[in-house]
């Protein structure tokens, strides 16, 4: 099951990178560390398409840990020409217990803008194992 | 150890094969429907449903449509984007979808508002300074921002963005880019010559139909398609209106976004009130 999750993750990343090279803009930001001696990775990816943008949040661990997920996740479209936030949403957090992988995603249609927009996906991930708890902050932005 | 190395080797070969196969598949099928149909794959099985009175409608490819749109915009830009002058634009923006923006006073920003912008155009045709205000018809300001030098200040959130370079004003607010980016999907664009308030109008419309309904983050029900319309003044080339409707699988339609250009003018000077704000943010 765990291997299947990793393979799914790899397939998703291959898809994103391949697509980004051909049709869209994509960016990814990653934090690597350990919690209670277990290697963990926090990652966010943002991909722009014709009609909207998609962002993915991944929290991964080398083995099952007590808590894996995120504590908050904020998505934003900032129109640079008007200097204003035209879309904003905050998710207050979610997690799985005794698992090694957590992922979620969101698709948001574009709001129009007289110049470029900056799309931002950011927030703290959530990892706990043994007596240690970590909340790495990861931010990814794309300007289009 | 040997078995472990062999296992790793197999996994690496598997991954390389996966990358090669995936790349090959996507090069020949850019919509990669089998992996993420709900996000990226669209179908043109159904024709856009247009005004039945539009008997002069013709189908265009997105390429043809974007070329016509660009020609109109070029005509409009030549009229309005004059170096050393200010461009004053006023848009009415409407939406039935909550933008979820919470203002510093704790209130939600309405989804429909006026956007008024004063843009100083430099000799290269790029915006060098601006003051943009999102407000209601009674001049209640929701957000205001000023670009001066390379720094943009959002005066409402007291936030700033550095390293902003002079930029090209998108007088179509991204409509051309949208057309160009859906070109690979072979969606027909309906083109109609029509009239509105005695003005000759070019109307472009298309419908993106999703093979698998999209779960849009802002709407509870899955979306089946997006219907997009853009209107241009034939005489001036000005883009006057844009509308995007989202159709749910349940048949409901929602106005995702609509804008009307209410005012567009080019002036040698901006009002003192605008210049004062820009002066104070330096």
Separation CA B151–CA A86 (nearest Å): 19
pLDDT for the residue A133: 98
Q: What is the pLDDT of residue B218?
A: 80
Mean pLDDT of A123-131: 98
Look at residues B235, B182, B184 and name the one whose alpha carbon lies nearest to residue B206.
B182
User: Shortest Cα distance from B120 to chain A (angstroms)?
Assistant: 12
Note which residues in 95-124 of chain A have CB less than 8 A from chain B: 106-116, 118
**What digits encode the pLDDT tens for the residues A57-72?**
999 999 999 999 999 9
Best mutation target among B109, B145, B185, B264 (most A Cβ atoms within 10 Å) is: B145
CA distance B171 to B176: 10
N-terminal to C-terminal alpha carbon distance within chain B: 66
Flag whether residue A36 sits within 8 Å of chain B, measured between CB atoms: no
Please give the structure tokens belonging to residue A103: 């992922």
B217/A89 touch (CB, cutoff 8 Å), yes or no:
yes
pLDDT, position A44: 98
Residue to mutate among A17, A50, A52, with most B CBs inside 10 A, is: A50
Three-state DSSP class for B129?
A: strand
* Three-state secondary structure string covering chain A: CHHHHHHHHHHHHHHHHHHHHHCCCEEEEEEEEEECCEEEEEEEEEEECCCEEEEEEEEEEEEEEEEEEECCEEEEEEECCCCEEEEEEEECCEEEEEEEEEEEEEEEECCCCCCCEEEEEEEEEEEEECCEEECCEEEEEEEC
The pLDDT of residue B55 = 47
Question: B255 is written with which tokens?
Answer: 């106005």
Residues of chain B with pLDDT under 70: 1-56, 282
Q: How far apart are CA B246 and CA A49, in angstroms?
A: 17
* Strand spans (E) along B162-198: 189-196
Residue the block writes with tokens 């509870």: B220
Q: What is the per-residue pLDDT for B268? A: 98
pLDDT of amino acid B23: 38
What is the band of A6 on the pLDDT scale with cuts at 50, 70, 90?
low
Picking from A11, A81, A88, the nearest residue to B100 by CB comes out as: A88
pLDDT tens-digit series, residues A10-50: 555 555 444 444 456 799 999 999 999 999 999 999 999 88
| C-alpha to C-alpha distance for B216 and A109, rounded to whole angstroms | 7
Share the mean pLDDT of chain A: 89
Is residue A131 less than 8 Å (CB to CB) from chain B?
A: no
Chain A: closest CA distance from residue B92 (Å): 12
Query: Is residue A52 within 8 angstroms of chain B, CB to CB?
Result: yes
pLDDT for A8: 58
- Report pLDDT digits (tens) over B25-41: 333 322 222 222 332 22
- How far is it, in rounded angstroms, from Cα A61 to Cα A64? 7
Handedness of CA A12, A17, A18, A22 (dihedral sign): positive
Q: What's the pLDDT score for residue A12? A: 52
If one compares B212 and A119, the residue with the highest pLDDT of the two is: A119
pLDDT for res B44: 33
- The whole-number pLDDT of residue A10 equals 56
Report which DSSP code applies to B131.
Answer: E
Residue A8 sits at φ, ψ, to 5 deg, of -60, -45
Per-residue model confidence (pLDDT) at position B211:
85
Contact check, Cβ <8 Å, A108/B147: no
């Amino acid at each position: 099951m765990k291997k299947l999750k990793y393979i799914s993750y790899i397939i998703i990343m291959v898809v994103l990178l391949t697509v980004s090279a051909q049709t869209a803009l994509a960016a990814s930001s990653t934090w690597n560390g350990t919690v209670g001696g277990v290697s963990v990775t926090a990652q966010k990816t943002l991909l722009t398409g014709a009609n909207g943008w998609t962002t993915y949040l991944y929290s991964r661990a080398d083995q099952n840990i007590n808590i894996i997920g995120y504590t908050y996740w904020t998505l934003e479209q900032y129109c640079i020409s008007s200097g204003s936030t035209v879309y904003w949403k905050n998710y207050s957090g979610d997690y799985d217990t005794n698992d090694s992988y957590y992922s979620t995603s969101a698709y948001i249609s574009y709001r129009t803008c007289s110049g470029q927009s900056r799309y931002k996906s950011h927030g703290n991930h959530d990892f706990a194992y043994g007596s240690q708890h970590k909340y790495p902050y990861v931010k990814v932005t794309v300007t289009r | 150890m040997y078995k472990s190395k062999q296992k790793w080797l197999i996994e690496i070969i598997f991954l390389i094969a996966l990358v090669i196969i995936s790349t090959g598949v996507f090069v020949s099928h850019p919509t990669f429907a089998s992996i993420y149909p709900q996000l990226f794959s669209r179908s043109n099985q159904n024709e856009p449903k247009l005004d039945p009175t539009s008997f002069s409608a013709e189908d265009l490819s997105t390429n043809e449509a974007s070329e016509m749109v660009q020609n109109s915009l070029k005509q409009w830009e030549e009229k309005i984007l004059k170096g050393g002058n200010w461009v004053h634009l006023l848009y009415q923006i409407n939406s039935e979808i909550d933008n979820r923006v919470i203002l510093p006073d704790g209130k939600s920003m309405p989804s429909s508002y006026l956007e008024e912008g004063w843009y100083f155009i430099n000799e290269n045709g790029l915006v060098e300074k601006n003051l943009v205000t999102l407000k209601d018809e009674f001049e209640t300001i929701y957000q205001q921002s000023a670009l001066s030098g390379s720094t943009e200040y959002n005066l409402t959130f007291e936030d700033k963005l550095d390293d902003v370079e002079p930029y090209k004003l998108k007088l179509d607010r991204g409509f051309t880019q949208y057309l160009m980016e859906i070109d690979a999907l072979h969606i027909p664009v309906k083109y109609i010559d029509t009239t509105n308030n005695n003005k000759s109008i070019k109307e472009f419309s298309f419908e993106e139909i999703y093979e698998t309904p999209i779960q849009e983050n802002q709407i509870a029900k899955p979306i089946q398609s997006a219907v997009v319309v853009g209107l241009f003044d034939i005489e001036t080339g000005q883009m006057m209106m844009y509308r995007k409707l989202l159709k749910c699988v349940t048949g409901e339609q929602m106005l995702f976004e609509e804008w009307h250009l209410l005012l567009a003018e080019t002036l040698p000077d901006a009002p003192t009130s605008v210049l004062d704000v820009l002066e104070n943010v330096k």
